[in-house]
Amino acid sequence: MSCKWRGGRLALVAVVGAAWTVGTGCRETEPERSENPTDTMFADFAERLDAYTTLRERLTDSIGDLDPTKSQEEIAARAVALGNAIIASRPDAKQGDIFSPEVAAFLATLIRQEYSRRSEPVLETRQDQQDELPDFEPRVNQIYPTTYPLATFPPALLPVLPPLPEVIEYRIVRDYLILRDVEANVILDFIPRAVPSGG
C-alpha cells in the first residue's frame, strides 16, 4: 500500500460525515476504530479499497511499472495487460463490491447535498459539462470505452467525496458515479442515480 494512499486511508477511516481531509503524512499507526456507524461504514469502504490495491500491486509486480517512454506501443500494451489481468483476477466482481449499499446511499446523499448548495452559474457549468458526459451503461469490469472522453469531474464535488488511492478515480457517466482504475482504464464499481440529472 503506497504511503500516499495510507495517508488518505487514515483520513477516510478517521473522518465522520462530509468533512473529508486527505492525510499528508505517512503515519504508521491507525486511529482506533470508533463505534460510530458512519466510521464503521467508511472503515469498511477503506478495507475494500485496500483489498483492490493489494490485488493490483500483486498484478503490477508481475507486469511491471511503467516509466515514461517514447513508445506509445509500450504504454498501450501495458494498459491492456494490466486491464486484462485485473478483469481476469476479479471474474465475479459485481456492482456493490467496493461501494457497499450503505456507502452508495451515503455518497449519493452527499452528492445531492453538494449540488443543492451550488449557485446557478456553477449548476449551469455542470449542465454544460453534462452535455459532454459519456452516454453508455457502465458495467463492472468493463474497459471504459475509449470512444468517449473522460468527462471533467466537478472540482468542488471532489473534496466532498472520500479520498481514493492514486490509482483509482471517480468519474461520472450519465447519472452514475463510477470508480475507474486510472492506468488500466477498467470500471471497478459504480453507483447508479448518484448524480442529479439536469445538472
Partner 1 sequence: MKRQFAMIVGALVAWAPVAAKAQEMRLPVMPNSVRFLVLGDAGTGERQQYEVAAQIVRYYAEFPFTFAILLGDNIYGKERPQDFAQKFERPYKALLDAGVKFHAALGNHDDPNQRYYKPFNLDGKRYRTFKEGNVRFFILDSNYLDPEQVKWLEKELEASDSEWKIAYFHHPLYTTARRGPEVELRAILEPIFVKHGVDVVFAGHEHVYERFKPQRGIHHFLAGGAAKLRKGDTRRGPLTAAAFDRDRSFMLVEIIDDKMFFQAISRTGVVIDEGIIPSRETAEATRASVLPLVRSP
In the DSSP assignment, the letter for residue 14 is H
> Which residue, 138 or 162, is less far from partner 1 as judged by CB?
162
C-beta of 188: minimal distance to partner 1 in Å? Answer: 15
Q: Which residues pair with 107 in a beta bridge?
A: none
In angstroms and rounded to an integer, the radius of gyration of the C-alpha atoms of the chain is 17
C-beta of 179: minimal distance to partner 1 in Å? Answer: 13
What is the rounded distance in angstroms from the CA atom of residue 173 to the CA atom of residue 54? 26
> Residue 194 corresponds to which amino acid?
A
Q: What is the helix (H) or strand (E) element at residue 178, kind and residue range?
A: strand 176-181
C-beta of 157: minimal distance to partner 1 in Å? Answer: 9
> Which residue, 26 or 37, is less far from partner 1 as judged by CB?
26
C-beta of 97: minimal distance to partner 1 in Å? Answer: 23
> Which residue, 33 or 132, is less far from partner 1 as judged by CB?
132
Site residues (vs partner 1, CB under 8 A): 20, 22, 24, 66-73, 75-76, 79, 118, 121-122, 124-126, 128, 131-132, 146-147, 149-156, 158-159, 163, 169, 182-183, 185
> Which residue, 172 or 191, is less far from partner 1 as judged by CB?
172
What is the rounded distance in angstroms from the CA atom of residue 155 to the CA atom of residue 158? 6
Cell of 60: 503490477
C-beta of 37: minimal distance to partner 1 in Å? Answer: 25
> Which residue, 169 or 175, is less far from partner 1 as judged by CB?
169
Q: Is 169 helix (H, G, I), strand (E, B) or coil?
A: strand
On the 0-12 / 13-18 / 19+ scale of CB atoms within 10 A, 123 is: middle
